[in-house]
Structure 1
């Protein structure tokens, strides 16, 4: 019998973070690990059909097979487009009176 694979599961909200170390069977996918972790019960706002997931900040699909020490991350949607935010800051800086 193959030895269990250790993985980490991470999810964060503005007020709380969820990090869990898990042992899963070899061949377990990201989707299966998320289901087994209990994070969906603790954070019912997570919708796996629309939420992006990844391993070490690289987007992956739910059917990606996990390897030893992978860190599975569930991403929340962005509140603001980073490019738009930067443009607004730059415009505000340009409009400020020069001293």
Structure 2
């Protein structure tokens, strides 16, 4: 079976970002060797979430299928990866549990 040049030099990936009441997943075909950080820039999420701004997406923590990436600038993507852009938590989970335990909901 002969594959096309694009299949050999490009991969299909997704970039996901979610707010509490909305989410968006961007499907992209990118060159092989693209980093997780680069694919987030390619997804142009500031257009979809202008309230976050470009700087947020440039520096946000990233993961792939729930696994945080330590060095997203150096992590090379593979076919089918879904890069997740993480946002800061509104409430520290430990503090929320403590408040519930004290009856403060």
Instruction: Report the TM range for the smaller structure's normalisation.
Output: 0.7 to 0.9
**Counterpart among 62, 68, 73 of residue 79 in structure 2:** 68
Larger relative helix fraction: 2
Give unpaired runs (5+ residues) of structure 1.
Answer: 94-99
Aligned residues, how many?
A: 93
Give unpaired runs (5+ residues) of structure 2.
Answer: none
Q: TM-score, normalised by structure 2?
A: 0.78
Q: TM-score, normalised by structure 1?
A: 0.82
Shift in CA distance, 37/68, structure 1 to aligned 2, threshold 3 Å: same
The answer to whether structure 1 residue 33 and structure 2 residue 42 are counterparts is no
Q: CA RMSD in A?
A: 1.8
| Misfit runs of 4+, over 2 Å | none
Q: C-alpha distance in 2, partners of 1:49/1:40? A: 10
- Structure 1 residue aligned with 2:25: 19
